[in-house]
Amino acid sequence: MALKRHGLARKRRSAGLSQEQLAERLGVERSTVGRWERAETNPLPFIRPRLAGELRTSLEELSVLLDDVRCVEPQRDERLTHVLGNPAGVDLVAAAQLRQRVQALGEEYDRVPSALLLAAAGQCHGQVTFLRQNAPSGRVLRELLEAEAESATLMGQLVWDASQRRDHATTLAYLDAAVEAAREVGNGFAEAHAQLRRSYVALYGLRDPGKGLALAESAARAAKSVSPALVGIALMHVGEAHAMYQEAVSCEKALGAALAQFDRSSDSDPAVEFFTPDDHGRLAGSSYLFLGRPERAVGTLAPLRRDGKKASAIVLGNLSIAHIRTRQLDAALSCLHEAINVVEATRGGGGMNLVFTAGRELAPWRDEPAVKEINDRLLALMTAA
């Protein structure tokens, strides 16, 4: 049995640091950080305050993380290695293991910079694709197609986020592959999820609300029989597309229909983990900004939670813009500082774009010392990117 400090590794990643970056900041070798995370050695007492500071945690929580040592089963990795060397022998256990890896990486997305997840996700996707190409027909092939639809969707999500929503071509190639795999296995939920991700690229990357509207409506139709929650998420983006077209009535209608779908959802809904109660407010607030209603956007966005996830930066970025447009400078700067804090930790592409948009809208106050401080932080963010 090997030992691992998974909590310590997750904390490092959520702070936006690779092993190399953390080692450089602490003045130690990368292998030293690796040994800490493998529970082979412990950080010496004198370095623990600095380590806690870099991980943005307390000494008490760091102590808990160091004590949280768990056993892992190396035979699972050995089994997968054997199957990758002998792909004709792939079985349901190996397929399920790869699918679990994809899902585990997806769970890290909200708090960990996508660039730090890409290598592991890319390796996993490549393994799934390779084994699917060599799998016999039947249950094993179906399981691998399910895993491929999920891994391709995740890769599209990570590539787009890591590129700060600029690499549309690679993102769409992955999402197209996800749709194809989902259709081949008849998985309506996976198809709808990938289609929904394609609508995000159209709406927020290509700035094509017509295409985004059509894709979001297609996702809602595909999810209708399998997931009310996913239908609701798609309808929220339908509403935002209408807002981009200044179609207030259609926007409100879609947002209301989304709420009705969420009311129909249950704990068994496969999309329940993709949705939080604040998501509707986040999309509604963004829609009100597109509709030129910043006062209403403030009222919608201000009560929402700020939990340090990538979506928090989007809420805070939009709230800052809404405050700027209502000439509430102090409130705008406070929200923008919070948004930058989240973006520094998560590198989320959506939040990154919004904080720079807010920064540009502060131009009339560029000579104010507090605005100069914001611009310094944005410059540092750009340099780090």
Render pLDDT for 247-294 as a digit per residue (tens, 0 to 9).
Answer: 999 999 999 999 999 989 888 888 877 777 789 999 999 999 999 999
Range in 74-78, 137-141, 257-261, 324-328 the model is least confident about: 74-78
Instruction: Provide φ and ψ at 317, rounded to 5°.
Output: -65, -45
Q: Which of 363, 375, 213, 348 is nearest to 290 (CA)?
A: 213
- CB contact at 8 A, 352 and 385: yes
- Tokens describing residue 33: 């950080």
Q: Which residue has the higher pLDDT, 276 or 66?
A: 66
Task: Reply yes or no on whether the pLDDT at 71 is more than 70.
Answer: no
- For the chain, state the CA radius of gyration: 22
Beta bridge partners of 4: 70
Q: Which of 194, 163, 216 is nearest to 350 (CA)?
A: 163
Domain 2-72 has CATH 1.10.260.40: yes
Q: To the nearest whole percent, how much of the chain has pLDDT over 70?
A: 97
Question: Which pLDDT does position 72 carry in this prediction?
Answer: 59
Task: Reply yes or no on whether the pLDDT at 1 is more than 60.
Answer: no
Instruction: Please name the residue that has the structure tokens 């996700």.
Output: 121
Render pLDDT for 210-253 as a digit per residue (tens, 0 to 9).
Answer: 999 999 999 999 999 999 999 999 999 999 999 999 999 999 99
- The conformation of residue 385, written as its DSSP 8-state character, comes to -
Answer positive or negative: Cα dihedral of 361, 362, 367, 373.
Answer: negative
Render pLDDT for 74-112 as a digit per residue (tens, 0 to 9).
Answer: 445 667 777 888 887 788 888 888 988 898 888 888 877
Annotated domain spans of the chain: 2-72, 74-185, 187-275, 308-385
- Tokens describing residue 26: 């602490």
Q: Which of 56, 69, 70 is nearest to 11 (CA)?
A: 56
